[in-house]
Structures are given as C-alpha cells and as structure tokens.
Structure 1
Amino acid sequence: MSLLSDEMQRCITDCLACYRTCLSMAMGHCLEVGGEHTKPAHFRLMMACAEICRTSAHFMLIGTPHHRHTCRECAEICEECAKDCERIGDMEDCVQACRTCAESCRRMAN
C-alpha cells in the first residue's frame, strides 16, 4: 500500500510529464527551430521549469513536507513557462503540460 495520496501521486505524474515535455521540447524542438525559441530568457525559463518540476516530484517521492514550497514555486514557474511558450507559438504540448502541472502543484502547495 502506498503512503502517497492519490492527489500527490497525480501531482508527481504531472510534474514528471512536464519535466519530460519541457526538456525534450527545449532540446529538440527549440534548438532545431531557433529564433525566438532559443533566445536566452525563453530557453532559461524552459530549463528552470523542467528542473523545478523534477525537484517537486522528487520532494514528494521522498516524503518531505517541504514539497509544499517547491510545489508553490513550481506552479508559478509553470504558469510563466506556459505563457511564454504560448506567446512564441508552435509549442502546444509544452503549454498543456505546464498548465496541468501548475494546477496540480497549486493543490499540493495548499
């Protein structure tokens, strides 16, 4: 029997999906397309988003109550990343993954 609630398991899944999506989009799509996709501010934001998603999932998996802090920050960064990816365009997978993760993380932060 798992010690993690269904909601926390869902958030871990959403965080890891967002991590995977942001990292693969940045390293694949963005680097291939160039232009706005590889401008430093956007690219750094995508890397920050991937890393905070991975960290939040890790904190939940190890069972530390500090996941509330990382999840709060994760939700904020994911929202920012979703908006920037939407602004640039042609990154719908990333936008959706970020929004889903932000929603899950907001619930876990409370």
Structure 2
Amino acid sequence: MSLSETVSKIESLSDEQRDCIENCNEAAQVCEWCADECLGMEEMEECARLCRDVADLTTMHARFMARGSNYSGQLAQACAQACEDCADECENHDANHCQVCAEVLRECAESCRQMANA
C-alpha cells in the first residue's frame, strides 16, 4: 500500500491535510537526498544543515497531522519557514539535487502555510 493510500484511510483528515502530509514526506525524502549529496563540500555545509532540519521538521509535522495533534498548527508555521529558508539556500546552487529540492520545498512551504492558517 502506498503512502497516499494509507493517508487516505485516515478519516479524520481533510483533503488539504492529506496533501500536506504527502508534501511533507516528499520534502523529507528530497532533503535527505540533497543533504547526502552535499556532504564533504565545504561550500554546501549550510545547504546540508538546512536540508537535515527540514527533513526532521517535515517528518514530525506529518506525524502530528496524522494524529490530530493540537500543536500541528504551530509546527506547520515553523515547517513552512524552514522550507522557505532551505529552498532559498538550495536555489543558490546549480546542482540538480539542489534545484529539485528547492522546487519540492516551495510546494511544501505553501501547503504547510495553509495548515498554519487553518
């Protein structure tokens, strides 16, 4: 069963929450990839550091949404900001992994921002 199939079975979630969970999980995966590709390059340390932060935050936010946590809205705001900051950093680099990461993070930031304002 795919993640989207599993998330669709959580009846208490809205469509927007389901989308956000999927976006957060995709962001976590792409950030882990990007951070791994940046390892060992001094000029990419900040990119790797931000990607690791985003991977942790987005994973936590997805879990909080899935369980209906009262703290999800606050975490959504932090998640959106971290995604934006990381996307800004990734866009400074020509590497394909950074460009892909920035694109995914922009979507995730928007989705998280919607959850923060819900």
Structure 1 and Structure 2 fold alike (TM over 0.5)? yes
Deviation (angstroms), 1:43: 2.1
d(CA) in 2 for partners of 1:44 and 1:95?
A: 14
Deviation (angstroms), 1:88: 2.0
Cα displacement string for residues 43-64 of structure 1 (whole angstroms, at most 9, x for unaligned residues): 2211111111111101001111
Verify the 8 A CA contact 2:27 2:105 in the aligned structure 1: yes
Verify the 8 A CA contact 1:36 1:88 in the aligned structure 2: no
Identity over aligned residues, as a percent?
36
d(CA) in 1 for partners of 2:64 and 2:15?
A: 16
Unaligned runs of 5+ in 2: 1-8
Equivalent runs, 1:1-110 vs 2, <5 Å: 2-27=11-36, 29-31=37-39, 34-37=41-44, 39=45, 41-90=46-95, 91-110=98-117
d(CA) in 1 for partners of 2:47 and 2:104?
A: 16
Number of aligned residue pairs: 106
Structure with greater helix share of residues? 1
**TM-score scaled to structure 1, two decimals?**
0.89
d(CA) in 1 for partners of 2:94 and 2:35?
A: 13
Cα displacement string for residues 80-108 of structure 1 (whole angstroms, at most 9, x for unaligned residues): 00000001222111001110100000000
Deviation (angstroms), 1:3: 1.2
**TM-score scaled to structure 2, two decimals?**
0.84
Unaligned runs of 5+ in 1: none
Give the RMSD, CA atoms, in angstroms.
1.3
